[in-house]
Structure formats: C-alpha cells, structure tokens
C-alpha cells in the first residue's frame, strides 16, 4: 500500500503552504457554482480539501496500481501491427482506473464533466503519476489538450467533444511536428484546404506524434495556400477515421510505453478550431506552454522516483564496513539531488500558480468584459510572468532530472547499469524531457526576451515587497547579491548591443535567472519551515558560485569561442 501523494512530505508541504487564494477564487468564480454542481466547493478551505482528496486518489492509483506495473510497461512497450497501435497492458489497465476515478477531465470545467482543478494541482498530479511511470504521464498529462478546445473552441464543439474527454472515452494527441519541421514549426507543410462543400481536408504527414493513434487529434496545418510563415497555419480538430493511417511507431530509448507515431492524412475530414491563421501564433503556443509545464512536472516526478531508490540503496549498501551514504562523495550527490528536486518543485508550483492566475484572469475578462479596466493590467503582468517562468521551469526541471538519474545510477554502481534495478529505466525516461516540447536550447530562446526586458526584476521586486525576509536575513542577503550579479550581467550584455554575444551567453543568462528565482522561492519556503531554511542554505552555497562564475565569464568579454569555433570543429590536424 503506497500512496505517492501522502508519502511525499515535500508535496504535502507545498499543498499546505501554497498561497492559492487568488487561484481558487478565479477558478471558482467567487464560489458562485453557477452550474449547480453537487461537487462544487463552498469556500477556499473546502476547495483545498478537495484538492487534497483528489491528489490522494491520484497518489493511490500511482503508488498501488501504476508503479508495480511500470517495469513491465517499459519491457513490453507500445507495439504496432497491421496499421494499429497497442498500448502495453499496464498502461491500459491504469488508464481504465484513472477514467473510473473521474480524473480524465482534471482541469476541465464541471459543466463539461470535468473536476475543475487548477493547473497547480494538475502539476502535482502529473508529478505523482510520473514518479510511478513516466510513460503513463503521456496519457494522463495530454488531457491538457482538451484545455485548448475548451479555451478556443466554439460552444458547440465544447459540448460535443469535452464530455467525451472527461469520461475517458476519447484520448487526444497534438499533431504538430513534421519530418522537416521540428523546432521550426513555422515551416509546417501539412496542407489543409476546403473542398467544394466547404469541408476542411487534411493532406500530409506528421511525425513524432505522441498518441498519434488516438481518437481525436489537434492538427496544425497550412490553411493559407502560398504562404510559408507561421501566419499561414491553422489548428484543426480531427476525429479518427479511415482517412488517417498510422505508418509506423518509433523505437525509442525511453518512455517506451507511449506510442510515438508517424501518421499520414489522406484527404481526411477535419474541422477548424477557432480562427484561421492563429494556429501557431496563438493556439499552438498556448498548447505548447501547457505541455511544457507538464513536462517540468513530469521531470520532477521521475527525479523523485530515482532519488528515492538511490537514497535507499546508499543506506542499504555497505562497503568498507559501512553504508556508502557515509562517504562524502555519496552524500554530496544525494544532497544535491534532493535540493535540486525541491528547488524544481517550488519553481514548478510557482509557475503553475502564475499560469492559473493568468488563465483565470482571461476567463474572468471574457465573462465580465465591463471589468476590463480593473483586470487588464494584472492580466498583462501575469502574461509576462507566465511567458518567462514556463520555459525556465521546463528547462531547469528537465536538466535537473537528467543529472539526478545520472547520479542515481552512479550511486548504485554496477547494478544500476542492469535491468534488475529501476534507475536505468528512469535514466532512459528522463532523457526525453529536455528534448520534447522544445529542447532546453529552445526554452532559452523563449525565456531570453523576458530576461533582457526586465520581467525577472519585476517579479523579484514583487517578492521583496510581498514577503518579509528578515527571519531569514542571512540567506536572503546572499540571494540579493545573486540578483545584483544577474542584473549586472544583463546590463552588460544589453549595453554591448552585440546580438552574437547575446545569443552566445543566452543559456548562461537564463540559468542565472533560474538560480536567482529559485533562491527567492526557497527563501519564501524557508519562512515556513526550519528544514526549508537548511535546503535554501544548501542550494545557495552552490548556486551563488554558479551565478558568480557565469557573471565572470560574461564580464570577461571573451570572444575566443565565438571567433574560433570553426577552427576547432571544422578543421582537422
């Protein structure tokens, strides 16, 4: 009997301490219960109690049901025969349980059959599921897709489609990538045209489509003939019929339980979602941002699984007549792993909270347009924060889980390299997190604008105004010093006005930003718990040096690598 929510003290800490007042108020529209739902909460405490209970159900399914099946899911993998995809038995069984528990419409409004959970709670749920089985997250987490229909679809589309998602009757996929359009989605070529009856038809191939075999896909296609930019793309809702063929599935390093499909549309009938030409620039950006946050949460979950196994092994395994955890080399790894996991978690929750508030404000604005004057400024602010924090959380958590799993195998030594232990699976599963939904390098590009434009300072100012850090003054002083290092680096790059130099240091600037934000968030956690104060101290002791080193490199104004990289990589002796 394992409950992956109840046994996780750190998630419980956040669920207890997170400031969700604004989030809950927006999500419940002032507890109006306008749909007369029997399961709507009465007030904030009631809503939080719901969140706790729902996460306990997720935790039970993850711990008792999914986790014991994960190894077999990985070994069996998704299979492809005669044009059809079969999910591993363990995934099928757990998905049935998830549907039975009414968890398939997690964030969806109650009026369409969902349970109306905030994204913050969804992130926690995704982490919990991913700790059990990273492949399973690709079904559970992809319900975010129905959010896109919910946000941009017509009322008729919503009423027709959303209850089917909520009941688990249909699963979704997002069909964006093509063989020649990966990071560069503006170049998508799959063609959409209207036939003589005005019905949209899709023609072309999509590749690397998670759950591409699913019942409903959101397909990005070029609807404007003769265009080549992102503004010629629209998003379509496609319901599976005989006009779409799964050509093959990929044989992957990890997340083998999730089918990654190559699919071909042969004049397949589809319907437009929202407006033409907004497919990439509005709807897909929204869809991808949701998916990025989900991958961040998935990363934390995989890391949690790997860390727990490494910790248990390090205590259990004796060498030189003592448990190996006593050796500095091992306890340093364990401490770094746990500190980075907790830092990622606090960043994922903060990002989720920001996204929740942004989404809530947009909904409220749509519902009460007369309040635009009150809401617009706040919405703009939270939109800026969401655009900055989402890529930060995704890149930090994804790189973190790769390091954590690497070290988890290292702590296990030789046996960690074998299939007898789970850490090798976690290591393989982790490897996709910093690639899909935009590589870490692309997250850097996405975050850099906000870093350069001062959005990070804007948010840090809010933290300084809203929290009294005197109780943790000693560590907060260092955090502020880090902040000034970051701002110094940003000004240096800006003043230089050299776009090549800026691009070269983009990753460093973004990493510095994440380190500074994390220290501010950990200092906030530290106000609530003595242990968290220690975690913040430990994080700071290394983060300060990282930030300092990055600043030194940037200020050194060193162009050696920029100027000479071709000499090294293109020429031989």
Partner 1 sequence: MGLHLIVTVKQVPDTHNVSGNAMKEDGTVNRAALPTIFNPEDLNALEEALKIKELTGGRVTCISMGPPNAVEVLKECLYRGADDVILISDRRFAGADTLATSYVLKCAIERVGSYDLILCGRQAIDGDTAQVGPQIAEKLKINQLTCVAAVTAVDEKSITVKRSVEDGYEIVKSRFPALLTITAAANEPRSANAKKVMTYKNIGKEMCSLSYDESYLAADACAIVDHIREWNVEAIAADPDQCGLSGSPTKVKKIQSVVLSARESRQIANNDAGIGELIHELIEENIIG
445 CB neighbour count, 10 Å cutoff: 16
Which of 60, 133, 342, 424 binds partner 1 (CB under 8 A)? It is 60
Under rule CB under 8 A, residue 7 binds partner 1: no
The DSSP output letter for 232 is: G
Q: Which is closer to partner 1, CB of 53 or CB of 380?
A: 53
Under rule CB under 8 A, residue 49 binds partner 1: yes
CA-closest candidate to residue 207, choices 247, 252, 235: 247
Question: What token pair was written down for 62?
Answer: 């993850």
Bin 225: left if φ > 0, else alpha if -120 < ψ < 50, else beta. Answer: beta
The angle formed by the CA atoms of residues 492, 496 and 501, to the nearest 5 degrees, is 95
To which residue do tokens 């027709």 refer?
160
CB of 254 to partner 1, least distance (A): 27
Under rule CB under 8 A, residue 57 binds partner 1: yes
Question: What token pair was written down for 313?
Answer: 């092994």
Judged by CB under 8 A, the stretch of 53-61, 228-236, 283-291, 391-399 that binds partner 1 is 53-61
Q: Which is closer to partner 1, CB of 136 or CB of 447?
A: 136
Under rule CB under 8 A, residue 268 binds partner 1: no
Q: Which is closer to partner 1, CB of 65 or CB of 396?
A: 65
Q: Which is closer to partner 1, CB of 57 or CB of 453?
A: 57
- Residues with Cβ within 8 Å of residue 394, at least 6 apart in sequence: 292, 293, 295, 296, 437, 438, 443
Q: Which is closer to partner 1, CB of 43 or CB of 468?
A: 43
Under rule CB under 8 A, residue 12 binds partner 1: no
CB of 7 to partner 1, least distance (A): 14
Rounded to the nearest 5 percent, the helix, strand and coil shares of the chain are 65, 10, 25
- Residues with Cβ within 8 Å of residue 34, at least 6 apart in sequence: none
Q: Which is closer to partner 1, CB of 53 or CB of 565?
A: 53
Question: What token pair was written down for 28?
Answer: 């419940």
Encode burial over 453-481: b for 16+ CB neighbours within 10 A, e otherwise.
Answer: eebbbebbeebeeeeebeebeebbebbbb
Under rule CB under 8 A, residue 362 binds partner 1: no
Under rule CB under 8 A, residue 557 binds partner 1: no
Site for partner 1 in 101-130 (CB under 8 A): 101-103, 115
Q: Which is closer to partner 1, CB of 8 or CB of 478?
A: 8
DSSP strands (E only) in 9-133: 79-81, 84-86
CB of 128 to partner 1, least distance (A): 13
Which of 11, 41, 176, 296 binds partner 1 (CB under 8 A)? It is 41
Question: What token pair was written down for 415?
Answer: 């046996």
Asked whether the beta carbons of 51 and 39 are under 8 A apart, the reply is no
What crossing angle do the helices spanning 499-526 and 372-412 adopt, rounded to 10°? Answer: 90
Under rule CB under 8 A, residue 100 binds partner 1: yes
Q: How many residues does the chain have?
A: 573
DSSP assignments along 133-152, one per residue: -HHHHHHHGGGHHHHHHHHH
Under rule CB under 8 A, residue 29 binds partner 1: no
CB of 514 to partner 1, least distance (A): 34
Which of 61, 190, 310, 506 binds partner 1 (CB under 8 A)? It is 61
Q: Which is closer to partner 1, CB of 96 or CB of 555?
A: 96
Q: Which is closer to partner 1, CB of 56 or CB of 538?
A: 56
Which of 4, 10, 28, 50 binds partner 1 (CB under 8 A)? It is 50
Side-chain-facing half-sphere of 396: CA atoms under 13 Å = 31
Which of 38, 198, 226, 566 binds partner 1 (CB under 8 A)? It is 38
Q: Which is closer to partner 1, CB of 5 or CB of 80?
A: 5
Which of 65, 265, 389, 539 binds partner 1 (CB under 8 A)? It is 65
Asked whether the beta carbons of 307 and 404 are under 8 A apart, the reply is yes
Residue count, binding to partner 1 (CB under 8 A)? 20
Q: Which is closer to partner 1, CB of 50 or CB of 210?
A: 50
- State the burial class of residue 401 (Cβ atoms within 10 Å of its Cβ: 0-12, 13-18, 19+): buried
Judged by CB under 8 A, the stretch of 36-44, 254-262, 291-299, 403-411 that binds partner 1 is 36-44
CB of 257 to partner 1, least distance (A): 19
Question: What token pair was written down for 387?
Answer: 């655009």
Question: What token pair was written down for 476?
Answer: 């907060």
Under rule CB under 8 A, residue 97 binds partner 1: yes
Contact footprint for partner 1 (CB under 8 A): 1, 38-41, 46, 49-50, 53-54, 57, 60-61, 65, 97, 100-103, 115
């Amino acid at each position: 009997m394992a409950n992956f929510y109840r046994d996780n003290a750190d998630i419980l800490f956040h669920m207890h301490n997170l400031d969700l007042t604004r989030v809950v108020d927006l999500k419940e529209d002032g507890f109006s219960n306008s749909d007369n739902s029997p399961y709507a909460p009465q007030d904030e405490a009631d809503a939080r109690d719901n969140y706790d209970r729902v996460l306990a159900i997720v935790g039970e399914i993850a711990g008792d049901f999914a986790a014991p099946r994960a190894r077999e899911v990985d070994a069996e993998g998704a299979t492809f025969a005669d044009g059809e995809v079969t999910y591993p038995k363990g995934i099928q069984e757990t998905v049935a349980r998830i549907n039975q528990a009414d968890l398939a419409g997690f964030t969806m409004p109650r009026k369409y059959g969902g349970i109306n959970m905030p994204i913050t709670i969804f992130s926690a749920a995704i982490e919990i599921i991913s700790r059990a089985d990273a492949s399973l997250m690709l079904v559970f987490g992809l319900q975010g897709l129905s959010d896109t229909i919910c946000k941009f679809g017509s009322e008729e589309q919503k009423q027709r489609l959303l209850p089917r998602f909520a009941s688990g009757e249909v699963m979704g996929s997002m069909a964006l990538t093509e063989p020649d359009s990966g990071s560069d989605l503006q170049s998508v070529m799959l063609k959409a045209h209207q036939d003589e009856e005005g019905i949209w038809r899709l023609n072309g191939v999509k590749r690397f489509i998670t759950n591409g075999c699913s019942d409903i896909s959101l397909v990005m296609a070029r609807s404007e003939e003769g265009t080549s930019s992102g503004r010629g793309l629209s998003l379509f809702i496609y319901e599976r019929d005989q006009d779409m063929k799964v050509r093959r599935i990929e044989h992957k390093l990890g997340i083998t339980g999730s089918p990654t499909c190559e699919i071909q549309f042969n004049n397949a009938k589809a319907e437009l979602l929202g407006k033409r030409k907004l497919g990439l620039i509005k709807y897909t950006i929204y869809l991808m941002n949701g998916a990025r946050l989900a991958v961040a949460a998935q990363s934390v979950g995989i890391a949690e699984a790997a860390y727990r196994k490494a910790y248990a092994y390090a205590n259990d395994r004796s060498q030189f007549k003592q448990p190996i955890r006593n050796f500095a080399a091992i306890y340093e790894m364990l401490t770094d792993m746990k500190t980075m996991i907790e830092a990622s978690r606090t960043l994922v929750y903060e990002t989720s909270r920001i996204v929740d508030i942004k989404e809530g404000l947009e909904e409220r604005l749509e519902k009460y347009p007369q309040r635009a004057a009150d809401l617009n400024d706040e919405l703009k602010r939270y939109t800026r924060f969401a655009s900055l924090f989402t890529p930060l959380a995704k890149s930090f958590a994804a790189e973190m889980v790769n390091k954590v799993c690497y070290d988890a195998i290292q702590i296990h030594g030789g046996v960690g390299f074998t299939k007898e232990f789970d850490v090798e699976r976690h290591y393989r599963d982790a490897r996709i997190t910093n690639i899909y939904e935009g590589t870490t390098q692309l997250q850097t590009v996405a975050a850099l604008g906000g870093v350069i434009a001062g959005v990070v300072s804007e948010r840090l100012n809010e933290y300084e105004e809203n929290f009294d850090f005197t109780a943790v003054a000693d560590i907060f002083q260092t955090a502020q010093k880090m902040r000034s290092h970051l701002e110094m680096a940003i000004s240096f790059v800006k003043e230089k006005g050299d776009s090549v130099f800026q691009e070269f240091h983009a990753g460093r600037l973004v990493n510095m930003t994440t380190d500074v934000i994390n220290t501010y968030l950990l200092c906030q956690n530290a106000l609530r718990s003595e242990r968290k104060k220690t975690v913040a101290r430990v994080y700071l002791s290394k983060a300060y040096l990282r930030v300092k080193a990055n600043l030194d490199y940037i200020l050194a104004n060193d162009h050696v690598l920029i100027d000479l990289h071709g000499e090294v990589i293109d020429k031989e002796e």
